[in-house]
Amino acid sequence: MTLDFQPLNDVRCTLGEGPVYDADRNALWYCDIIERRLHKQPLDGGDHQQWDFDSEVGSIGLCESGRLVVALRDVVGIFDPADGGFTRLASIEDDNPETRLNDGKVGPDGAFWVGTMDDSGRSPREPIGALYRVDATGRVDRKVGDLRVSNGLAFSPDGRRMFHADTGGPWIDLWDFDPATGDIANRRRIATPGDDIGRPDGAATDADGNYWCAGVSAGNLNKFAPNGTLLESHALPVAAPTMPCFGGPDLTRIFVTSLRRGRPPEVLERFPLTGITIGADSPVTGSPVARFRDG
């Protein structure tokens, strides 16, 4: 099966990440981490909009109010696109200059789950990151430690399981998840995808509970069964894909962001769409992502 990906617009990100579909606005939100920018692209052909921030924009989620929960370098806050206002909820690892917030997603519990990564520039990265749960009161709970690059957050359609990956591991874990409390338990490693199919980056789940993960080091979009079996691997027209997202009114489109910085000229010549968000008709229906309960 070949997915026919086409550019969503002509906006070229340095490090595109975090696509989120907004059904109320029929729009795709995504960020450019390095350029410190938030993007919004209506899917009906409307005009693209963007907002700049004072630090890296690691990930985003939708709020019940229509606002967005946004992870900056070491702050999680609420952004109102109507007036451009940003209200801080919590600081995370703001005393550690070697880490920054990275992949995040709203969980079935209505909280924002977001992880940190080693951003020191050393190679290989050290396991100094962690995964956190942030609620609307600003309470922060540290859930998982010893992470190199926290990534790949996604939840099963019934809200009872959480996928979580470490790009630097590389590995993908599955947890039991309690949507009433946000408690996680029974951690098990389901896959260790390497450079051959692509180390795991951002991810999304479909309506059947399968896990679609960007294989950042191989240019692939990989579909895993809940037990970690690789079901499909789709070559993409971009180098270094970073995260997929199901969207469109019926969640039968799939969008993928990608990383442009650091790609050699010969790679960019072969994959000129790198950095531009791409979209295709999906062979499956996506699983809806919850909204942050911001009161």
What residues are labeled active site? 201
E strands of 239-283, at which residues?
241-247, 253-258, 276-281
DSSP, residue by residue, 35-86:
TTEEEEEETTS---EEEE-SS---EEEEBTTS-EEEE-SSEEEEEETTTTEE
The secondary structure of residue 209, as a DSSP letter, is S
C-alpha 41, offset from chain centre: 17
In degrees and rounded to multiples of 5, residue 269 shows phi and psi of -70, -35
Distances (CA, A) of 72 to 38, 90, 139, 194, 286: 11, 11, 17, 28, 27
The first and second tokens of residue 176, run together, are 């039991």
> Please, what is the Cα angle at 136 between 254 and 205, to 5 degrees?
20
Question: Residue type for 134, please?
Answer: V
Query: Residue 173 in contact with residue 186, Cβ under 8 Å?
Result: no
CA-based torsion, 142, 144, 145, 151: positive or negative: negative
The secondary structure of residue 111, as a DSSP letter, is P
